[in-house]
Structure 1
Amino acid sequence: MEVVEVFHMNEGNGDTSYANNSLAQKNVILHTKPTTEEAITDVYNSLCPETISIADLGCSSGPNTFLAVFDIIRAVEKLRKITGTHSPEYVVHLNDLPGNDFNSIFRSLPRCVEDFKKEMGDGFGDCFFAGVAGSFYGRLFPSNTLHFVHSSNSLHWLSQIPKGLEENKGNIRIAASSPPSVIKAYYKQFERDFLTFLKCRSEELVTGGRMVLYFLGRKSESHNPSHDVNIWVLFAKSLKDLVTKGLVEEEKLNSFNVPMYSPSLKEVKMVVEKEGSFSINVLEGYTRDFSESLKDGKAISNTVRAMVESLVVSHFGGGIIDQVFNKYEEMIGECMTEFVKEDFINIVSLTKV
């Protein structure tokens, strides 16, 4: 399966759309806002650009698309008013894979920008937006043109399914029963992807440009989960239920793996240092409690569906979608008291040297 060709968050504004099921992701952006503001403030103070070129990688669609970008611009405007300088021009590049719902983004863009200009008031510089379709595991922009790169809730997604997962039967990603060979295959794919990501951004950023990245990670070096009832274990069980009912072939299930890896902070540091183009300003993490944003089985099921439905349809076909997610919702509801409603978020802020 070519991930770049089939993977996208669910489009539109329906019950299972990403736009209506991304509150947990929004909370990450809000939690990490101080780190983002520090980085863009440093760019403005040190480089004093007349035009600030910003790239948001993995922008998706819906209310979160403009959230971080507008906060980045607000931070610059606040600083330039304090210092009494004129507003720079802003060029904002919104990037995601080709299957992303760019139509929804650009239908909402004129109104969003107009409201934002009113909020910023007189003296606000021109603001230009462009959509950039393509994988961020490759070059997207001309050399030495970006001042600031932002990416939230995206870099745990890999460019492809790792090779060598034949022994991961019954699992859909790294699980407690996954053998060491599977863990190694996932890590190697993450390492290749993240090295490529850093190399490409180092060529696109100006010297002194900054990059802030927030994505799923893990708190310890161990891959063995301390709990058995989590999002991905239950989703695998809901797929196994269809095998039991004869709706999905077991071989088909055994060949399905989610292209997702949650690196430790140590692993992130090792890859950044190995690539060598960036100095690390911030490398930390926090445990995210998503119990407030995902309160019941339906909310959790819809959130996961908004993220992975395109992958499931590509592998199994569309005929099982409602059945698998109805079963998933049911399973979550049956074990809400044991269900683990937290995960770990890596926070990374880098400067191109």
Structure 2
Amino acid sequence: MEVMQVLHMNKGDDENSYAKNSKVQSKIISLGKRSNEEAIMQMLCTNIPDIIGIADLGCSSGPNSLSLISEIIDIICAKCRDLGRPTPELKVFLNDLPCNDFNSIFGSLPAFYDELRREKGSEFGPCFVSATPGSFYGRLFPSRSLHCVHSSSSLHWLSQVPPGLESSARTTTIMNKGKIYISKSSSRGVLEAYSLQFQTDFSTFLKSRSKEIAAGGCMLLSLMGRRSTDPTTDDSCYHWELLAQALMSMVSEGLVEEEKVDSFNAPYYGPCVEEIKIEIEKEGSFIVNRLEGFEIEWDGGVDDADTTFGAQLRGQRVAKTIRAVVESMLEFHFGKDIMDELFKRYGEMVEVYLSRTGTKYTNLVVSVVRKG
């Protein structure tokens, strides 16, 4: 599976779209707001360039994309207002893989500009938004052209399935039989393959950004991870375990070929704090300002949780959230016909699991500054 050609959030605005099912990601953005403000304010205290380059890596589409940029612009405008100086020109680059739904973002730009002008008035300077398709596991921008880089809910996606896990006609041993990610029954070889792929990818990411970010510039990263050094803990991998169980239930009924499950492994890895620290220190271009974790409900938390139907529908909400993110990969591998049944079963399994446990996602927030 070529991740760059297959991975994208569900497009459009129907009931299974990412635009309608990205509350978890919205919650993650809100949890990182304090770190964003702290890092950007610190950057602007030392120098406010005439043109500020801002990049959102893994921007996806839907309401979260431009709300994040709007938040960063708010912080910059507030600082310039406090200093009694005009807001500099802003160059905003929205990055994601080429198959992302950039058209929907562009369609919402006129309203975005109108709202900025209405709220900021004369203090709002020129702002130029453009798309930069491509993988952030490599160079995307000219040297020293960026001052603020943000990435939310993206860096847990790997550039590829770890080598050695994908089975083929030549494969004699199935490394991760009946599973689609790390699980408590995974062999040491599976754990090491995932860990090594994350190290390789995150190192490449840091090296690329170190060339693109100007001295004193900030980078704000938010990604799914785990609190424990053990990658098999429930907060790290059990949402994948339940999806594998849903697939295997369909295998038992002859609806899915077992070989199909054995040959699918998610290009995903939720690191721990120590793994992130090691790679940042090893690369050497950045100073860590903040590195912390937050817990998030699997459905992002809902206002109607205390109503009669709240608990009953929780599994369905989680299933829709996961479907909006991973359906493109699953459909490519298993075909479109099984998706409705798969996520129906998945929702039921999630509902049972969450009724018995208090498991939450762990989201890691990282704030770094480019050394001079």
TM-score by length of 2: 0.92
One-letter amino acid of the counterpart of residue 203, structure 1: K
Q: How does 1:6-155 map to 2 (within 5 A)?
A: 6-155=6-155
Q: How does 1:157-172 map to 2 (within 5 A)?
A: 157-165=157-165, 166-172=174-180
**Which residue is 1:257 aligned to?**
265
Please state how far the C-alpha of 1:113 moved relative to its aligned partner: 1.6
Match for 2:315 among 285, 289, 297?
297
Separation of aligned partners in 2, 1:65 and 1:99 = 16
What 5-or-longer segments of structure 1 have no aligned partner? none
Separation of aligned partners in 2, 1:255 and 1:268 = 29
**Which residue is 2:355 aligned to?**
337
Match for 1:182 among 176, 190, 210?
190
User: What is the SS of the residue equivalent to 2:124?
Assistant: coil
**Which residue is 2:345 aligned to?**
327
- Judging changes above 3 Å, is the alpha-carbon distance between structure 1 residues 227 and 351 closer, same or farther for their aligned structure 2 residues? closer
- On the 8 A contact 1:229/1:338 being kept in 2, the answer is no
Please state how far the C-alpha of 1:20 moved relative to its aligned partner: 0.6
- The reply on whether 1:307 has 2:315 as its aligned counterpart is no
Aligned length: 353
User: What is the SS of the residue equivalent to 2:361?
Assistant: strand
Please state how far the C-alpha of 1:105 moved relative to its aligned partner: 0.4
Greater shift in the superposed pair: 328-337 or 248-257: 328-337
- The reply on whether 1:238 has 2:256 as its aligned counterpart is no
Deviations 1:270-327 (A, max 9, x none): 0111111111111121222345249612111110000000000111121211121122
RMSD: 1.6
- On the 8 A contact 1:164/1:181 being kept in 2, the answer is no
- On the 8 A contact 1:218/1:344 being kept in 2, the answer is yes
Please state how far the C-alpha of 1:229 moved relative to its aligned partner: 9.7
- The reply on whether 1:225 has 2:233 as its aligned counterpart is yes
Deviations 1:200-240 (A, max 9, x none): 00111111111010101110111232589942221111111
- On the 8 A contact 2:183/2:238 being kept in 1, the answer is no
Separation of aligned partners in 2, 1:65 and 1:276 = 30
User: What is the SS of the residue equivalent to 1:26?
Assistant: helix
- Judging changes above 3 Å, is the alpha-carbon distance between structure 1 residues 346 and 229 closer, same or farther for their aligned structure 2 residues? closer
Identity %: 46
Deviations 1:142-180 (A, max 9, x none): 111001100011100000000122321111111101111
- On the 8 A contact 2:226/2:236 being kept in 1, the answer is no
- On the 8 A contact 1:175/1:224 being kept in 2, the answer is yes
- On the 8 A contact 1:158/1:190 being kept in 2, the answer is yes
One-letter amino acid of the counterpart of residue 265, structure 2: N
- On the 8 A contact 1:10/1:306 being kept in 2, the answer is yes
Please state how far the C-alpha of 1:340 moved relative to its aligned partner: 4.4
Separation of aligned partners in 1, 2:277 and 2:230 = 16
- On the 8 A contact 2:234/2:359 being kept in 1, the answer is no
Deviations 1:86-119 (A, max 9, x none): 1111111000011111010001111112112211
One-letter amino acid of the counterpart of residue 275, structure 2: E
Please state how far the C-alpha of 1:47 moved relative to its aligned partner: 2.3
User: What is the SS of the residue equivalent to 1:66?
Assistant: helix
User: What is the SS of the residue equivalent to 2:344?
Assistant: helix
- On the 8 A contact 2:116/2:124 being kept in 1, the answer is no
- Judging changes above 3 Å, is the alpha-carbon distance between structure 1 residues 229 and 131 closer, same or farther for their aligned structure 2 residues? closer
Please state how far the C-alpha of 1:331 moved relative to its aligned partner: 2.2
Separation of aligned partners in 2, 1:229 and 1:49 = 43
- Judging changes above 3 Å, is the alpha-carbon distance between structure 1 residues 38 and 45 closer, same or farther for their aligned structure 2 residues? same
- On the 8 A contact 1:54/1:93 being kept in 2, the answer is yes
User: What is the SS of the residue equivalent to 1:149?
Assistant: strand
User: What is the SS of the residue equivalent to 1:92?
Assistant: strand
Separation of aligned partners in 2, 1:231 and 1:181 = 21
Separation of aligned partners in 1, 2:160 and 2:13 = 28
User: What is the SS of the residue equivalent to 2:122?
Assistant: coil
User: What is the SS of the residue equivalent to 2:63?
Assistant: coil
User: What is the SS of the residue equivalent to 1:215?
Assistant: strand
- On the 8 A contact 1:227/1:340 being kept in 2, the answer is no
One-letter amino acid of the counterpart of residue 264, structure 2: F
One-letter amino acid of the counterpart of residue 256, structure 1: F
Separation of aligned partners in 1, 2:343 and 2:177 = 21
TM-score by length of 1: 0.96
User: What is the SS of the residue equivalent to 2:268?
Assistant: coil
**Which residue is 2:168 aligned to?**
none
Separation of aligned partners in 1, 2:275 and 2:268 = 15
- The reply on whether 1:270 has 2:288 as its aligned counterpart is no
